[in-house]
Amino acid sequence: MSGLRTLWRTGIMGRCPACGQTSMFSGFYDMHERCAVCDTRFAPSSGDWLGATAIGYGVGAVLAIALALVEVVWGPIQRLHLDPMWTIAAVSLTVTVVSYRWSKSVWFALLYEWGFMAQGDEPPGPTAS
């Protein structure tokens, strides 16, 4: 159950996965390099952004497919006299951009659960002993 708690605390609330005392974010998208309370490093290596971006695009893609299905079945966008293609593209892009913060925090919650974060100057990664 600790994994679920981390997902909630870090993935939804954007808080430090280790202590939950402070926010991981210094701005809307910008993250602190390490926790001010427990010194956990949030970004062990540069490739970690990839997963967050992948989740973000995934959310946008799922939404686009869902909207397309709704449009095909009920046609609500055409009833508003809007172009379905551009409406779906614009809505998905907006949601992807807005949800990127949550994509990022969910991804970093997972990284923490998988042991990719280290405290202080310890080397990160589950293979480090």
Q: Which of the residues 51 through 90 are near Zn ion (CB under 5 A)?
A: none
Binding residue for Zn ion, selected from 35, 67, 88, 109, defined by CB under 5 A? 35
The token pair at 123 is 């080397």
Q: Judged by CB, which is closer to Zn ion: 39, or 48? A: 39
Nearest distance, CB of residue 10 and Zn ion, angstroms: 10
Q: Is 19 in the site for Zn ion (CB under 5 A)?
A: yes
Of positions 12, 37, 65, 98, contacts Zn ion by CB under 5 A: 37
Minimum CB separation from Zn ion for residue 122, in Å? Answer: 14
Backbone phi, then psi, for 75, in 5-degree steps? Answer: 60, 40
Residues in the chain: 129
Single residue of 11, 14, 15, 16 touching Zn ion by CB under 5 A: 16
What is the spatial distance between Cα 118 and Cα 115, in angstroms, rounded to a whole number? 8
Nearest to 53 by CA among 111, 99, 88: 99
Residue with tokens 């994994």: 3
18 lies in the binding site for Zn ion (CB under 5 A)? yes
Instruction: Tell me 45's DSSP state.
Output: S
Please say which residue, 6 or 103, places its beta carbon nearer to Zn ion. 6
Instruction: Report the nearest approach of Zn ion to the CB of residue 24 (Å).
Output: 9
Cα 124–125–129 angle (5° rounding)?
Answer: 85
